[in-house]
Amino acid sequence: MAKKQKYQISYTLKDKTKPGFGRELFATKKEAAQWLKKHEQDLYWHQFTEINPKSKLPRPIIEFEPGEEYDLKVGTLQTYYETGMECTGLVFYEDGVHGGPNPDFDPSKPESKSNFRYYSSYDGLHFIEHGMILEIDGQKIGIIKDRDFASRDGYRLSFYPAGFSRKELIEIFAPETKKVRAWIKRKDTK
C-alpha cells in the first residue's frame, strides 16, 4: 500500500527549454531531502512545503458581541491576486461598495463573474488580518495569525488564521460566494 503524500517540492528548472513549474510529492521529509540532493544542481528555484498544512492552534470561537472598537460589515469572502504579490490574498469584500457601472452588463442574464453590474472598488476590499472577527455559517471566529502554519505552507496565502487548514481556507474563500459578517477593528484616528 502506497504511503500518503504529505510533502511537496515545487520548482523551476535552470534549463530554459523546460519552462514552467514542476512539483514532486513525498511521503516523508527524508524522501524529499534525498530527491532535492539528487536534483539540486538542475533547479533554478525550489520550495519545500506540506501539501495540506493545518494550524496546530485551536479555532478561537467568540461568544460575546464585539464592542464599539469594531465596525460591523456584511459581504463576501473572496481571493485577490496581483502580479508581484506572489501569494493568493484572502479578502473580505464589503456589500454595497462598488466602482463605476459595467457598460457590457446584460440585465436579461443573471449576474456572475462575467456579467456584472458594477466594477469592484478597492474601497470595499479588506484583506483578512489579525484582530478581525468573521461570522462564518453562524459562528463568530476571532482571526489570529498563526506563523507556524504560514511557514509550513510556504507563505502562499496572504494570511493564515489559527484553527484552519489550507484546504478549508481554499474551500471557503475560492468560490467567492461565502456571505459573512465581519467585525473590523476601527483604525485609531489620533
Asked if residue 105 has pLDDT above 70, the reply is: yes
Encode burial over 66-103: b for 16+ CB neighbours within 10 A, e otherwise. beeebeebebbbbbbeeeeeebbbbbbbbeebbeeeee
Q: What is the mean pLDDT of residues 49-58?
A: 97
Whether residue 152 sits in one domain with residue 124:
yes
- Residue 46 maps to a domain: yes
Q: What is the mean pLDDT of residues 21-49?
A: 95
Give the domain range for residue 132: 70-185
Tens of pLDDT, residue by residue over 124-180, are: 999 999 999 999 999 999 999 999 999 999 999 999 999 999 999 999 999 999 999
- Residue 12 maps to a domain: yes
Pairwise pLDDT comparison (96 vs 58), residue with the higher score = 58
Residue bearing cell 504579490: 85
Asked if residue 119 has pLDDT above 90, the reply is: no
Which DSSP string corresponds to 118-165?
B---GGGEEE--TT-EEEETTEEEE--B-HHHHHHTTT-BS--BTT-B
Q: What are phi and psi of 173, to 5 degrees?
A: -90, -40
Whether residue 36 sits in one domain with residue 80:
no
Q: What is the mean pLDDT of residues 35-61?
A: 96
Residue 176: alpha-carbon gap to chain centroid: 11
Identity of the residue numbered 178: K
Pairwise pLDDT comparison (176 vs 112), residue with the higher score = 176
The confidence band for 83, taking pLDDT boundaries of 50, 70 and 90, is confident
CB 14 within 8 A of CB 44: yes
Q: Residue 189 has what pLDDT?
A: 42
Q: Residue 25 has what pLDDT?
A: 96
Task: Give dist(CA 106, CA 133) in Å, integer.
Answer: 36
Asked if residue 107 has pLDDT above 60, the reply is: yes
Identity of the residue numbered 140: K
Whether residue 35 sits in one domain with residue 108:
no
Query: How much is the pTM?
Result: 0.84
Domain count, the chain: 2
